[in-house]
């Protein structure tokens, strides 16, 4: 089962998450330089521990917040107030992390691992990865995003622990392979969703949890075969879809004063994701909607996102799709 898989990888990842060198680096930025590893006196060691514990907590809060943002966009009616408050929290954390240099390190690590991960055949999260082809205009290889696995259906604490670990695992993995790269941004992706077909299924649900679980299943764009399988299984059995698939996409930052911040709310393809859509869950333009779903089901191949200028839906087609899904 995916959760236990994630737990195992998480244990490994946590160990690597803050390698000693990194810790020292953080503490160095705050205190007088510590020479070597043997001369650390008691007080600075305690300070280092405290700082790294704070960093860990802060990181876990960031992960939790990003997950919440992702999840809430998959609910039927996302609560705008809650979304805004969570987003503001993320922004605060990001600002603080930018100030103490952590942010840059993390994003570098993520992009490095990204690049590395693309090549490896037995990626830890192979089946969960949902690729999204973006920046076709940028003409670069698609960076594989990081999935977040979670569920609204399970008891909150248990689930969020897993989600945290999952997210931490992702981050952890990447941080263990730090290598200098162009600074990139940490972007929660895929706020778009296609609730159409899910909602048809959820009509008779008695259990609120089930309903939320189903709505949590999410599609993101086009891409790999793994994604195809994912989609197929989701379509076939929406009721057991317990997992939330989100993507953290890496991209080059725009040359603006606060690139990471904007990335939180925008996407490369600005026409593709509008914050209005994001925060209100409005799907007036279902960009990743049933459209792409059906297209890819029939074509069995990645359809480049740029082709979803067909994402301008018109009502007739939307109705048609819903008919198909409802099975009328």
Residue 44 burial (10 A CB sphere; 0-12, 13-18, 19+): middle
What is the dihedral sign for C-alpha 101, 191, 293, 151?
Answer: positive
CB closer to another protein out of 26 and 273: 273
Both tokens assigned to 178: 């730090």
Query: What residues from 141 to 180 belong to the interface with another protein (CB under 8 A)?
Result: 156-157, 160
Is residue 58 within the footprint of another protein (CB under 8 A)? yes
> Total residues at the site for another protein (CB under 8 A)?
45
Does residue 10 sit in helix, strand or coil?
Answer: helix
Residue 276: CB minimum distance to another protein, A: 4
Q: Which value, to the nearest 10 degrees, does the dihedral of the CA atoms of residues 317, 319, 324, 328 take? A: -150
Map residues 63-102 to x or -, x wherever contact with another protein holds by CB under 8 A. -x---x-------xx-xxxx-xx-xxx-xxx---------
Both tokens assigned to 301: 């191949």
Pair 112, 313: CB distance under 8 Å = no
- Only one of the segments 101-109, 174-182, 190-198, 248-256 lies at the binding site for another protein (rule: CB under 8 A); that segment is 190-198
Residue closest to 132 by CA, chosen among 92, 79, 190, 174: 190
Count the neighbouring beta carbons within 10 Å of the beta carbon of residue 320.
13
CB closer to another protein out of 250 and 279: 279
Query: Which of 172, 189, 253, 281: binder of another protein (CB under 8 A)?
Result: 281
d(Cα 206, Cα 326) in Å, to the nearest integer? 18
Residue 139: CB minimum distance to another protein, A: 26
CB closer to another protein out of 101 and 155: 155
Is residue 279 within the footprint of another protein (CB under 8 A)? yes
Query: What residues from 247 to 266 belong to the interface with another protein (CB under 8 A)?
Result: 262, 265-266
DSSP notation for 62-113: HHHHHHHHHHHTTSSS--HHHHHHHHHHHHHHHHHHHHTTHHHHHHHHHHHH
Residue 39: CB minimum distance to another protein, A: 34
Give Cα separations from 226 to 100, 185, 230, 237, 275 (angstroms): 38, 25, 6, 16, 28
Both tokens assigned to 159: 């689930």
CB closer to another protein out of 149 and 279: 279
Is residue 282 within the footprint of another protein (CB under 8 A)? yes
Residue 237: CB minimum distance to another protein, A: 20
Map residues 289-328 to x or -, x wherever contact with another protein holds by CB under 8 A. x-------------------------x--xx---------
Residue 45: CB minimum distance to another protein, A: 25
Pair 209, 119: CB distance under 8 Å = no
Which residues make up the interface to another protein (CB under 8 A)? 57-58, 61, 64, 68, 76-77, 79-82, 84-85, 87-89, 91-93, 156-157, 160, 194-196, 199, 208, 262, 265-266, 274-276, 278-284, 286, 289, 315, 318-319
């Amino acid at each position: 089962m995916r959760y236990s898989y994630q737990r195992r990888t998480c244990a490994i990842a946590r160990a690597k998450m803050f390698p000693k060198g990194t810790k020292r680096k953080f503490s160095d930025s705050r205190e007088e330089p510590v020479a070597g590893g043997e001369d650390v006196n008691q007080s600075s060691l305690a300070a280092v521990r405290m700082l790294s514990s704070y960093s860990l907590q802060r990181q876990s809060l960031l992960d939790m917040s990003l997950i919440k943002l992702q999840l809430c966009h998959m609910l039927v009616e996302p609560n705008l107030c809650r979304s805004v408050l969570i987003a503001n929290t993320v922004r605060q954390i990001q600002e603080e992390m930018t100030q103490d240099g952590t942010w840059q390190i993390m994003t570098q690590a993520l992009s490095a691992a990204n690049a590395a991960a693309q090549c490896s055949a037995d990626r830890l999260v192979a089946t969960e990865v949902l690729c999204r082809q973006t920046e076709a205009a940028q003409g670069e290889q698609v960076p594989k995003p990081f999935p977040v696995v979670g569920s609204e259906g399970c008891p909150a604490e248990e689930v969020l622990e897993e989600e945290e670990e999952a997210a931490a695992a992702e981050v952890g993995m990447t941080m263990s392979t730090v290598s200098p790269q162009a600074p990139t941004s940490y972007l929660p992706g895929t706020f778009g969703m296609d609730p159409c077909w899910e909602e048809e299924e959820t009509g008779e649900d008695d259990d609120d949890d089930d309903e939320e679980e189903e709505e949590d299943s999410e599609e993101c764009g086009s891409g790999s075969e793994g994604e195809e399988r994912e989609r197929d299984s989701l379509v076939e059995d929406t009721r057991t879809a317990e997992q939330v698939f989100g993507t953290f996409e890496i991209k080059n930052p725009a040359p603006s004063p606060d690139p990471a911040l904007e990335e939180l709310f925008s996407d490369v393809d600005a026409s593709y994701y509008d914050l209005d859509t994001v925060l209100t869950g409005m799907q007036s333009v279902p960009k990743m909607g049933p459209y792409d779903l059906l297209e890819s089901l029939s074509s069995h191949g990645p359809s480049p996102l740029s082709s979803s200028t067909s994402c301008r839906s018109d009502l007739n087609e939307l109705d048609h799709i819903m008919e198909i899904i409802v099975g009328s």
